[in-house]
Amino acid sequence: MKLLLSCAEVKKIIAETRKRIGIPEEGLGDEQQIEQWHKKDDLRCDSMMSSSKFAELESEIYKKLQDGEITQNKAKELTKELYRQIPVDYLYSQIWKIIRQFNMPDNYEHHIYKYILYGIITAPIANYVIGPFSPWEKLRDVRRVPITVYAKLTDKDLRDLKLQINQYFGGKVLTFIQDVRDISRDLESEKTLAEKEYDYTTGEEVKLSAEDVAERIFGSRRKKKEVFKARERLRKLRKTRFGKQ
Protein backbone atom coordinates (compact mmCIF):
# COMPACT_ATOMS: atom_id res chain seq x y z
CA MET A 1 0.00 0.00 0.00
CA LYS A 2 2.86 2.38 0.85
CA LEU A 3 4.52 1.52 -2.46
CA LEU A 4 1.29 2.25 -4.33
CA LEU A 5 0.87 5.62 -2.62
CA SER A 6 4.40 6.60 -3.57
CA CYS A 7 3.50 6.56 -7.31
CA ALA A 8 3.18 10.05 -8.79
CA GLU A 9 0.14 9.10 -10.89
CA VAL A 10 -1.68 7.67 -7.86
CA LYS A 11 -0.92 10.84 -5.88
CA LYS A 12 -2.39 12.87 -8.74
CA ILE A 13 -5.60 10.78 -8.90
CA ILE A 14 -6.07 11.02 -5.13
CA ALA A 15 -5.48 14.79 -5.12
CA GLU A 16 -8.03 15.25 -7.92
CA THR A 17 -10.54 13.04 -6.12
CA ARG A 18 -10.18 14.85 -2.80
CA LYS A 19 -10.57 18.23 -4.48
CA ARG A 20 -13.64 17.10 -6.43
CA ILE A 21 -15.51 15.73 -3.39
CA GLY A 22 -14.39 18.34 -0.87
CA ILE A 23 -11.80 16.42 1.12
CA PRO A 24 -8.80 18.33 2.58
CA GLU A 25 -5.42 17.65 0.97
CA GLU A 26 -4.29 15.36 3.79
CA GLY A 27 -7.69 13.75 4.32
CA LEU A 28 -10.31 14.26 6.98
CA GLY A 29 -8.69 14.70 10.37
CA ASP A 30 -10.82 14.76 13.51
CA GLU A 31 -14.20 13.22 14.22
CA GLN A 32 -16.02 16.51 13.75
CA GLN A 33 -14.56 16.94 10.25
CA ILE A 34 -15.52 13.39 9.34
CA GLU A 35 -19.10 13.77 10.59
CA GLN A 36 -19.60 17.11 8.84
CA TRP A 37 -18.25 15.83 5.53
CA HIS A 38 -20.45 12.72 5.56
CA LYS A 39 -23.56 14.79 6.31
CA LYS A 40 -22.67 17.23 3.55
CA ASP A 41 -21.93 14.39 1.12
CA ASP A 42 -25.26 12.70 1.83
CA LEU A 43 -27.11 15.94 1.17
CA ARG A 44 -25.21 16.60 -2.07
CA CYS A 45 -25.85 13.07 -3.36
CA ASP A 46 -29.55 13.18 -2.48
CA SER A 47 -29.92 16.65 -3.97
CA MET A 48 -28.28 15.72 -7.26
CA MET A 49 -30.19 12.45 -7.71
CA SER A 50 -33.55 14.03 -6.91
CA SER A 51 -33.00 17.07 -9.14
CA SER A 52 -35.07 17.55 -12.29
CA LYS A 53 -31.88 18.05 -14.31
CA PHE A 54 -30.55 14.62 -13.32
CA ALA A 55 -33.89 12.97 -14.13
CA GLU A 56 -33.99 14.70 -17.53
CA LEU A 57 -30.50 13.54 -18.46
CA GLU A 58 -31.31 9.97 -17.39
CA SER A 59 -34.57 10.02 -19.39
CA GLU A 60 -32.75 11.39 -22.41
CA ILE A 61 -30.34 8.45 -22.42
CA TYR A 62 -33.23 6.00 -22.12
CA LYS A 63 -35.14 7.70 -24.94
CA LYS A 64 -32.13 7.57 -27.26
CA LEU A 65 -31.80 3.87 -26.52
CA GLN A 66 -35.49 3.24 -27.20
CA ASP A 67 -35.31 5.22 -30.47
CA GLY A 68 -32.31 3.22 -31.60
CA GLU A 69 -29.99 6.24 -31.64
CA ILE A 70 -27.49 4.53 -29.32
CA THR A 71 -26.61 0.94 -28.48
CA GLN A 72 -27.11 -0.81 -25.16
CA ASN A 73 -23.40 -0.54 -24.41
CA LYS A 74 -23.37 3.17 -25.22
CA ALA A 75 -26.38 3.70 -22.97
CA LYS A 76 -24.56 1.96 -20.12
CA GLU A 77 -21.48 4.08 -20.74
CA LEU A 78 -23.50 7.32 -20.70
CA THR A 79 -25.43 6.28 -17.59
CA LYS A 80 -22.20 5.40 -15.83
CA GLU A 81 -20.75 8.79 -16.77
CA LEU A 82 -23.90 10.54 -15.52
CA TYR A 83 -23.73 8.81 -12.15
CA ARG A 84 -20.05 9.68 -11.87
CA GLN A 85 -21.23 13.25 -11.25
CA ILE A 86 -22.58 12.07 -7.88
CA PRO A 87 -19.76 12.44 -5.30
CA VAL A 88 -19.94 8.93 -3.82
CA ASP A 89 -20.06 7.30 -7.26
CA TYR A 90 -17.18 9.48 -8.43
CA LEU A 91 -15.17 8.45 -5.37
CA TYR A 92 -15.63 4.73 -6.02
CA SER A 93 -14.99 5.10 -9.73
CA GLN A 94 -11.64 6.71 -8.88
CA ILE A 95 -10.82 3.94 -6.42
CA TRP A 96 -11.48 1.30 -9.07
CA LYS A 97 -9.51 3.33 -11.58
CA ILE A 98 -6.50 3.01 -9.28
CA ILE A 99 -7.10 -0.70 -8.70
CA ARG A 100 -7.41 -1.51 -12.41
CA GLN A 101 -4.71 0.87 -13.66
CA PHE A 102 -2.14 -0.30 -11.12
CA ASN A 103 -3.06 -4.00 -11.12
CA MET A 104 -4.06 -4.05 -7.45
CA PRO A 105 -6.01 -6.92 -5.85
CA ASP A 106 -9.73 -6.12 -5.47
CA ASN A 107 -9.60 -6.33 -1.67
CA TYR A 108 -7.61 -3.07 -1.60
CA GLU A 109 -10.81 -1.13 -2.35
CA HIS A 110 -11.63 -0.40 1.30
CA HIS A 111 -8.03 0.54 2.12
CA ILE A 112 -7.73 3.01 -0.76
CA TYR A 113 -11.10 4.45 0.34
CA LYS A 114 -9.78 4.93 3.90
CA TYR A 115 -6.67 6.67 2.65
CA ILE A 116 -8.52 9.07 0.35
CA LEU A 117 -10.99 10.06 3.06
CA TYR A 118 -8.92 9.88 6.22
CA GLY A 119 -5.28 9.75 5.15
CA ILE A 120 -4.89 6.46 7.02
CA ILE A 121 -2.64 3.78 5.52
CA THR A 122 -3.91 0.23 6.07
CA ALA A 123 -3.73 -2.94 4.00
CA PRO A 124 -5.42 -6.37 3.85
CA ILE A 125 -4.03 -8.82 6.40
CA ALA A 126 -4.07 -11.69 3.89
CA ASN A 127 -4.39 -12.40 0.17
CA TYR A 128 -7.65 -14.26 0.77
CA VAL A 129 -10.96 -13.90 2.57
CA ILE A 130 -13.06 -16.70 4.05
CA GLY A 131 -16.74 -16.21 3.19
CA PRO A 132 -19.18 -14.66 2.79
CA PHE A 133 -21.76 -17.25 3.74
CA SER A 134 -25.44 -17.23 2.86
CA PRO A 135 -27.31 -15.02 5.35
CA TRP A 136 -29.74 -17.84 6.19
CA GLU A 137 -26.95 -20.39 6.73
CA LYS A 138 -25.77 -21.11 10.29
CA LEU A 139 -22.02 -21.62 10.51
CA ARG A 140 -22.46 -24.75 12.60
CA ASP A 141 -24.41 -26.33 9.74
CA VAL A 142 -22.20 -25.40 6.76
CA ARG A 143 -20.84 -28.19 4.59
CA ARG A 144 -18.64 -25.94 2.49
CA VAL A 145 -16.41 -22.95 3.14
CA PRO A 146 -16.22 -20.33 0.35
CA ILE A 147 -12.82 -18.69 -0.05
CA THR A 148 -12.03 -15.69 -2.25
CA VAL A 149 -8.39 -15.41 -3.31
CA TYR A 150 -7.15 -11.99 -4.40
CA ALA A 151 -3.47 -12.68 -5.11
CA LYS A 152 -1.01 -15.54 -5.29
CA LEU A 153 -0.89 -17.30 -1.94
CA THR A 154 2.38 -17.52 -0.05
CA ASP A 155 3.39 -20.55 2.01
CA LYS A 156 2.41 -18.57 5.12
CA ASP A 157 -1.01 -17.79 3.60
CA LEU A 158 -1.59 -21.49 2.98
CA ARG A 159 -0.57 -22.42 6.53
CA ASP A 160 -2.79 -19.73 8.03
CA LEU A 161 -5.70 -20.66 5.77
CA LYS A 162 -5.45 -24.32 6.74
CA LEU A 163 -5.28 -23.36 10.43
CA GLN A 164 -8.36 -21.13 10.21
CA ILE A 165 -10.42 -23.65 8.24
CA ASN A 166 -9.59 -26.52 10.58
CA GLN A 167 -9.99 -24.38 13.72
CA TYR A 168 -13.38 -22.87 12.91
CA PHE A 169 -14.92 -25.49 10.65
CA GLY A 170 -12.92 -28.65 11.27
CA GLY A 171 -14.99 -30.04 14.13
CA LYS A 172 -18.19 -31.80 13.12
CA VAL A 173 -18.88 -29.35 10.30
CA LEU A 174 -16.42 -30.41 7.60
CA THR A 175 -15.61 -34.01 6.88
CA PHE A 176 -12.02 -35.15 7.28
CA ILE A 177 -10.80 -37.06 4.24
CA GLN A 178 -7.24 -38.17 3.71
CA ASP A 179 -5.36 -40.45 1.36
CA VAL A 180 -5.51 -44.04 2.54
CA ARG A 181 -2.67 -46.40 1.78
CA ASP A 182 -3.50 -49.70 0.14
CA ILE A 183 -7.26 -49.10 0.38
CA SER A 184 -7.93 -51.09 -2.80
CA ARG A 185 -5.92 -54.03 -1.50
CA ASP A 186 -7.73 -54.04 1.85
CA LEU A 187 -11.13 -53.84 0.14
CA GLU A 188 -10.21 -56.73 -2.14
CA SER A 189 -9.09 -58.79 0.87
CA GLU A 190 -12.36 -58.09 2.72
CA LYS A 191 -14.45 -58.89 -0.33
CA THR A 192 -12.57 -62.13 -1.07
CA LEU A 193 -12.88 -63.31 2.53
CA ALA A 194 -16.64 -62.66 2.61
CA GLU A 195 -17.64 -64.09 -0.79
CA LYS A 196 -18.02 -67.70 -1.88
CA GLU A 197 -16.29 -69.24 -4.89
CA TYR A 198 -17.13 -72.27 -6.97
CA ASP A 199 -14.99 -75.29 -6.10
CA TYR A 200 -14.54 -77.43 -9.20
CA THR A 201 -13.39 -80.38 -7.06
CA THR A 202 -16.54 -80.64 -4.94
CA GLY A 203 -18.90 -78.84 -7.32
CA GLU A 204 -20.03 -76.55 -4.49
CA GLU A 205 -19.61 -72.91 -3.57
CA VAL A 206 -17.23 -72.53 -0.63
CA LYS A 207 -15.65 -69.66 1.28
CA LEU A 208 -11.92 -69.24 1.09
CA SER A 209 -9.92 -69.61 4.27
CA ALA A 210 -7.92 -66.72 5.66
CA GLU A 211 -4.77 -68.54 4.49
CA ASP A 212 -6.14 -68.76 0.93
CA VAL A 213 -7.02 -65.04 0.95
CA ALA A 214 -3.58 -64.18 2.35
CA GLU A 215 -1.88 -66.14 -0.43
CA ARG A 216 -4.02 -64.52 -3.13
CA ILE A 217 -3.97 -60.91 -1.87
CA PHE A 218 -0.79 -60.63 0.22
CA GLY A 219 1.34 -63.19 -1.59
CA SER A 220 1.82 -65.73 1.20
CA ARG A 221 -0.33 -68.09 3.28
CA ARG A 222 1.78 -67.09 6.27
CA LYS A 223 0.27 -63.58 6.14
CA LYS A 224 -3.05 -64.72 7.53
CA LYS A 225 -2.98 -61.99 10.18
CA GLU A 226 -2.85 -59.33 7.44
CA VAL A 227 -6.30 -60.44 6.26
CA PHE A 228 -7.85 -59.67 9.63
CA LYS A 229 -5.80 -56.49 10.07
CA ALA A 230 -7.14 -55.26 6.72
CA ARG A 231 -10.71 -55.93 7.85
CA GLU A 232 -10.11 -54.04 11.11
CA ARG A 233 -8.52 -51.10 9.28
CA LEU A 234 -11.59 -50.81 7.07
CA ARG A 235 -13.92 -51.01 10.06
CA LYS A 236 -12.11 -48.12 11.76
CA LEU A 237 -11.98 -46.08 8.56
CA ARG A 238 -15.71 -46.44 7.99
CA LYS A 239 -16.35 -45.41 11.58
CA THR A 240 -14.11 -42.36 11.26
CA ARG A 241 -15.32 -41.29 7.84
CA PHE A 242 -19.02 -42.19 7.86
CA GLY A 243 -19.79 -42.69 11.55
CA LYS A 244 -20.75 -46.29 10.79
CA GLN A 245 -19.11 -49.67 11.18
Number of domains observed in the structure of the chain: 3
Domain boundary among 84, 99, 118: 118
Pair (233, 193) in one structural domain:
yes
Pair (23, 104) in one structural domain:
yes
Inside any domain, residue 174:
no
pLDDT at 171: 66
Pair (136, 215) in one structural domain:
no
Q: What would the pLDDT profile of 49-63 be if each residue is shown by its tens digit?
A: 777 777 777 788 877
pLDDT at 161: 92
Inside any domain, residue 47:
yes
Q: CA dist 60 to 47, 63, 82, 83, 90, Å?
A: 19, 5, 11, 14, 21
Inside any domain, residue 88:
yes
Classified as helix, coil or strand, 134 is: coil
Inside any domain, residue 87:
yes
Pair (31, 105) in one structural domain:
yes
Inside any domain, residue 58:
yes
Give 92-97 contacts, CB < 8 A, sequence gap 24+: 94/13, 94/14, 94/16, 94/17, 97/13
d(CA 142, CA 172): 10
Residues in the chain: 245
Inside any domain, residue 82:
yes
Inside any domain, residue 188:
yes
Pair (143, 212) in one structural domain:
no
Pair (114, 19) in one structural domain:
yes
Domain that includes residue 61, residue range:
2-118
Identify whether the C-beta of residue 200 lies closer than 8 Å to the C-beta of residue 191.
Answer: no
pLDDT at 172: 67
Identify whether the C-beta of residue 123 lies closer than 8 Å to the C-beta of residue 111.
Answer: yes
Please list the ranges in the chain whose pLDDT falls under 50.
Answer: none
Global confidence as pTM: 0.65
Pair (37, 100) in one structural domain:
yes
Pair (81, 159) in one structural domain:
no
Inside any domain, residue 178:
no
pLDDT at 28: 81
Q: What would the pLDDT profile of 197-210 be if each residue is shown by its tens digit?
A: 777 777 778 788 88
Pair (114, 136) in one structural domain:
no
